[in-house]
Amino acid sequence: MPELPEVEITARRLDAALRGATIESAQAPGINALKTFDPPLSALAGRTIEGVGRRGKQLVVQISGGLVILVHLMSAGRLQLYDKRAGPRDRTSRLLVRIDDGRELRLREFGTRQAAWVKLLRAEELEDDEMLKTLGPEAWPQPPQDLRALLRAPRPLHTLLRDQRVIAGIGRSWVDEILWTARLSPFKRGNDLTDEDAAALRAAIIATLDGALEHYEQVVKLPIPDKLPLPLQVHRRAGEPCPRCGATIEAVHYEDYVMCYCPAEQTGGKVLKDRRLSRLLK
Ligand SMILES: [Zn+2]
């Protein structure tokens, strides 16, 4: 679930709180979370955190002496900063970075799946990381000017915009909000976009992600809450009235996510086939 705005506010908060902090030790209780072994985690001891930033949906923690921690939260991870250390019974911890003043930076993950991951890399290895190397241009703060060229493919917008190799940062929640803001059908193909559509889409990406971040700046505080208060207007709101026109928000259910849209404004009144529903009716 954490997408560009959630990762960005996490990076901002952690950067402000941790810049200059000295690491005492680090350990990875989540046996599968640490994806690298050289340099070892013990190399972090005694080093300083120089900054925390974001690339796409990933967090990048810069460490003195040319090291960098790359974190992918996947669908249920959080990177949180606590004043006290975790007890031994905290089963959500995947990585613990202890600061010498008693604070603890903690990668936690909720649910049963262990998917969130961490890599400890040398700074010069960062750009070669398989994930970062294939990342498309950032969706925010300035999506590419020529969005029509970027999206020129016979794939639905709902898929294209979530493809991190095409454009980085957007996922299942914000894609619904962006397409609704742009009044574009989630199934419109990338290569069917007019110049006008592309301009509306670009404006919608900026406005939607800006709006989310403005909201988070007001409400998100350290340690970074387990549940982030996503200011969503259509996503996960099937059956409710569209906040703009009052039509009923419709949904298409996929195996592990839901796509929501306003039929009156996005699909010319057409209600898209819900595969789950049609399967149930068979
Ligand atoms: Zn509407």
Distance from the alpha carbon of residue 242 to the mean position of ligand 1, in angstroms: 5
Q: What pLDDT score does 275 carry?
A: 65
Distance from the alpha carbon of residue 241 to the mean position of ligand 1, in angstroms: 8
Question: How distant, in Å, are the alpha carbons of 160, 199, 213, 262 from that of 191?
Answer: 11, 14, 30, 22
Phi, psi of 21 (to 5 degrees): -75, 145
Distance from the alpha carbon of residue 160 to the mean position of ligand 1, in angstroms: 22
Distance from the alpha carbon of residue 230 to the mean position of ligand 1, in angstroms: 20
Instruction: Tell me how far apart the alpha carbons of residues 209 and 127 are, in angstroms, rounded to a whole number.
Output: 25
Q: What pLDDT score does 280 carry?
A: 54
- Which three-class secondary structure string do you get for 73-88? CCCCEEEEEECCCCCC
Task: Please list, residue by residue across 3-21, b when 16 or more beta carbons sit within 10 angstroms of its beta carbon and e when fewer do.
Answer: bbbbbbbbbbbbbebbeeb
Q: What pLDDT score does 218 carry?
A: 97
Distance from the alpha carbon of residue 256 to the mean position of ligand 1, in angstroms: 25
Packing angle of the helix pair 4-18, 195-219 (nearest 10 deg): 40
Distance from the alpha carbon of residue 272 to the mean position of ligand 1, in angstroms: 15
Phi, psi of 94 (to 5 degrees): -110, -30
Omega prior to 40 cis, within 30 of 0: no
Find out whether 70 and 118 touch, Cβ atoms under 8 Å: yes
Distance from the alpha carbon of residue 205 to the mean position of ligand 1, in angstroms: 18
Distance from the alpha carbon of residue 179 to the mean position of ligand 1, in angstroms: 11
**Claim: this prediction has a pTM higher than 0.85:** yes
pLDDT along the chain (282 residues), means of 10: 96 98 93 92 98 98 98 95 87 94 96 91 95 96 96 97 98 98 97 97 98 98 94 96 97 91 96 68 50
Amino acid (one-letter) located at 52: V
